[in-house]
């Protein structure tokens, strides 16, 4: 486990300037179609809510992209929607309930919100009539993917996760508290989410997320989904950016140890948003693993 920061002011500066800018990309224009296949958007009723998703590609292999905290398909996965092989894959990027365009309802964080997202994600793909899917899950989306793979093993073919954790430590909690007040974020970090949500919803939901994720710290061993890891049966690739300031390396090592047969791939220059900053490298890594 990495040591706690010795200088809170330095930690705060690092949190507000470096990871937040890297975690939240600037708004992307809709990607151009590749292989003559456009990115389409729609909403569909799933488990009592209307979930928004984007879809592209014409391949037999269905892949679901699961975004991170406050994220959506369009803000979190533009390079993947644009560039993943559209002949080999059918790619779906969803907005979990309360995020992106999957509103109403407003986002809330009961203790089972990750399990709820996992069921929503799987049921969305079943409504779209995919018989089996692979998962690409980033950050909170990686946690959701782990739970989905554990609870619906026959439905999940393969899985790639990065920036995810199976439990919450005191160190994690300090990092979360550092991003609680969005008025202290850099302007570059705030703008995309203000544009997506409006300032009030953005600020309120960030505070609710911090409270929601911190509730796991009070459970035995800070448990989110560590008890489910032995149930994961699908081939799993865990990617970790060695310069990720939001999710310490020990989380990736724990996942690798407890997900049977998993592979761990380290990106020395990667931060939390490694799939955006190093999109070509990440996309090739994911495609090679999924094929």
Residue from 102, 140, 244, 275 carrying the catalytic annotation:
244
Active site (annotated) includes residue 272: yes
Picking from 124, 162, 141, 181, the residue whose alpha carbon sits closest to that of residue 238 is 162
Burial of residue 63 (number of CB atoms within 10 Å: 0-12, 13-18, 19+): buried
Task: Tokens 């990065």: give the residue.
Answer: 162
Whose tokens are 């899985």? That residue is 159
Which residue in the list 76, 139, 140, 275 is annotated as catalytic?
Answer: 139
Tell me how far apart the alpha carbons of residues 242 and 140 are, in angstroms, rounded to a whole number: 18
Counting Cα atoms < 13 Å in the Cβ hemisphere of 70 gives 27
Q: Does the annotation count 173 as an active-site position? A: no
Per-residue burial over 250-274, b if 16 or more Cβ lie within 10 Å, else e, is: ebbebbbeebeebeebebeebbbbb
- Tell me if residue 139 is catalytic: yes
Q: Which of 52, 61, 272, 275 is catalytic?
A: 272
Please state the three-class secondary structure of 85-154 as a single string.
CCCCEEEEEEECCCCCCCCCCCCCCCCCHHHHHHHHHHHHHHHCCCCCEEEEEECHHHHHHHHHHHHCCC
Active-site residue set: 139, 244, 272
């Amino acid at each position: 486990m990495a040591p706690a920061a010795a200088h809170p002011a330095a930690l705060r500066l690092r949190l507000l300037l470096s990871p937040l800018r890297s975690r939240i990309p600037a708004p992307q224009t809709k990607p151009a179609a590749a292989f003559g296949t456009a990115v389409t958007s729609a909403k569909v009723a799933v488990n009592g809510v209307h979930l928004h998703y984007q879809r592209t590609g014409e391949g037999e292999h269905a892949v679901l992209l699961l975004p991170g905290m406050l994220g959506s398909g369009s803000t979190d996965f533009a390079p993947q929607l644009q560039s993943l092989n559209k002949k080999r894959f059918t790619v779906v990027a969803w907005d979990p309930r309360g995020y992106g365009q999957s509103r109403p309802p407003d986002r809330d964080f009961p203790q089972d919100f990750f399990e709820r997202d996992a069921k929503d994600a799987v049921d969305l793909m079943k409504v779209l009539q995919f018989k089996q899917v692979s998962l690409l899950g980033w950050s909170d989306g990686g946690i959701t993917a782990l739970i989905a793979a554990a609870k619906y093993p026959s439905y999940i073919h393969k899985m790639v996760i990065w920036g995810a954790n199976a439990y919450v430590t005191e160190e994690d909690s300090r990092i979360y508290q550092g991003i609680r007040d969005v008025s202290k974020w850099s302007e570059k970090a705030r703008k995309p989410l203000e544009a997506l949500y409006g300032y009030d919803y953005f600020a309120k939901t960030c505070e609710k997320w911090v409270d929601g994720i911190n509730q796991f710290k009070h459970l035995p061993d800070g448990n989110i989904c560590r008890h489910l890891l032995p149930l994961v049966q699908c081939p799993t690739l865990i990617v970790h950016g060695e310069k990720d300031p939001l999710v310490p390396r020990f989380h990736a090592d724990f996942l690798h140890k407890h997900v049977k047969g998993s592979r761990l791939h380290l990106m020395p220059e990667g931060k939390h948003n490694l799939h955006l900053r190093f999109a070509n490298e990440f996309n090739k890594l994911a495609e090679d693993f999924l094929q």
